[in-house]
Structure formats: C-alpha cells, structure tokens
C-alpha cells in the first residue's frame, strides 16, 4: 500500500526527545552536580484527545513501513513545509518512529522554481508557496480547491499530488483537513482516501502500540 504522509505525520512521529537534567552525585564528603542525558516523553496534552487516540496507531503503521508492509511517500512541496518549520529534534536518546523508515518521493503535478543562493532564496517562504498554489489553473486542482476552500489550499495540492501519483491513501493527523475532506467526499470525487492513523490501522486490522512500552524496549546505547 502506497501512502503519502502529511507533514504533521513526521512531526508527531517524534514522541520522545533528549534532554539534559542535573543530578547530584555524592563523592565522599562532597556533592558533585553533573548533567545527565535522559529520554523525555512529550505526550499529547489532556485536551488533545484526537492526537492521543492517533499516536498508538501511528506507531504500528511506522512498524509496518519498516517491515515493508506499507510504503511511505513525500513530495517537494511537503519538503518545503518541513524546511520552513522549526524542527523537533529527537536527539541521541529520543524516539522518532520514522527512523530507519524509507520515505520515497513522488513528483508534484506542477513544478516551480526553487532556488537557494547566497544572495537570497527564491520560492522558499510560505507566501511564495501559497502564491504558487493560487496560480495553478488545472481543472482538477481547481475543483478540489473550490470544494475544500482556500484555508486548505495546501491540503488540496497534496491530495491532487497523491491522485496524480496514483497512490493508495493520504495519511494525516490534521483533524480539520480530515473532517472537511470526508464531509465533502462526494463533491471532491477523489480516488484517494484521506485517512488518519487510526482509520488506516483499522483498515489493515492493525492493533495500537503502547508508546511507553516501545520506548522502554529501545536501548539507545546498543
């Protein structure tokens, strides 16, 4: 099964990070303060019930991808989102569910100029990306965009990308996007289902994975 992964999937795949904590060691009559690396879990907040429900299934799907039961894909425009955003770093002791998962690339339906140069970059900013999306006049993209609304113009482009690449699904943890596209499924008429980790996991008869049990099994020093 070939799946385009939304940028928020990559973000939520980092479930634990490395942090420095100060600990006091007793050395004879003296106390010594040392900094120790520890694995820190950053779980969803109490009010983030949707994320709390999705992450155990995301763990299972990433394990499936490692075993070759799923193929994950990204695109140039999704990479541009990643480039702009502040990166969450898992560090040496952290847990990134996508570590060792091969993420393949698909071509975007429309290409644009992106330039990195010492004198200044071209096409990198969010405004430039949104301007590019608004300039597209392909009938299929315009239909998706018009049905979903301009608040989801980037999501419309990613869905169109998945269609053109003939993938099997678009995986997201953007609850608003998922709700809109499924509420207007008939109007959009897409061949690509937009699914959450839980929905895809249930489709594959997969069971959710306990995140703390997984983290305990990962020994960063081996």
Domain ranges of the chain: 2-16+44-217
On the question of pLDDT at 146 being above 80, the answer is yes
Confidence at residue 114, expressed as pLDDT on a 0 to 100 scale: 80
2-16+44-217 domain in CATH 3.30.2320.80? no
Helix (H, G, I), strand (E, B) or coil at 184: coil
Compute φ and ψ for 49, nearest 5 degrees: -65, -35
Q: How confident is the model at residue 186 (pLDDT cuts 50, 70, 90)?
A: very high
Asked if residue 74 lies in contact with residue 103, where contact means CB atoms within 8 angstroms, the answer is: yes
Residue range 34-62: mean pLDDT, rounded: 87
Cα–Cα distance, 168 to 173 (Å, whole number): 17
Among candidates 201, 213, 217, which has minimal Cα distance to 54? Answer: 201
pLDDT averaged over the chain? 89
**Which H helix or E strand runs over 197?**
helix 197-203
On the question of pLDDT at 127 being above 50, the answer is yes
**Cβ contacts of residue 218 below 8 Å, gap of 6+?**
95
pLDDT tens figures, 4-31: 999 999 999 988 887 777 777 777 788 8
Q: What is the pTM of this model?
A: 0.86
Cα–Cα distance, 65 to 138 (Å, whole number): 33
What is the 8-class DSSP label of residue 47?
Answer: T
pLDDT tens figures, 161-175: 999 999 999 999 999
28 C-beta neighbours (distance < 10 Å), count: 6
């Amino acid at each position: 099964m070939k799946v385009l992964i939304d940028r928020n999937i990559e973000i939520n795949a980092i479930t634990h990070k490395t942090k420095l904590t100060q600990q006091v060691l007793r050395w004879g009559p003296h106390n010594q303060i040392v900094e120790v690396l520890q694995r820190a879990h950053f779980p969803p907040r109490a009010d983030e019930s949707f994320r709390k429900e999705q992450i155990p299934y995301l763990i299972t799907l990433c394990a499936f991808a490692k075993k070759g039961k799923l193929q994950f894909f990204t695109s140039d425009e999704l990479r541009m989102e990643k480039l702009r955003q502040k990166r969450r770093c898992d560090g040496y002791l952290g847990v990134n569910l996508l570590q060792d998962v091969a993420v393949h690339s698909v071509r975007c339906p429309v290409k644009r100029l992106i330039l990195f140069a010492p004198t200044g970059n071209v096409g990198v900013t969010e405004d430039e990306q949104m301007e590019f999306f608004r300039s597209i006049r392909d009938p299929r993209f315009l239909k998706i965009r018009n049905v979903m609304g301009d608040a989801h113009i980037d999501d419309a482009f990613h869905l169109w990308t998945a269609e053109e690449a003939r993938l099997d699904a678009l995986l997201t943890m953007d609850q608003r996007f998922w709700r809109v596209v499924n509420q207007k499924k008939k109007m959009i008429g897409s061949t690509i289902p937009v699914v959450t980790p839980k929905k895809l996991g249930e489709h594959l008869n997969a069971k959710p994975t306990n995140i703390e049990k997984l983290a305990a099994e990962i020994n960063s020093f081996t």
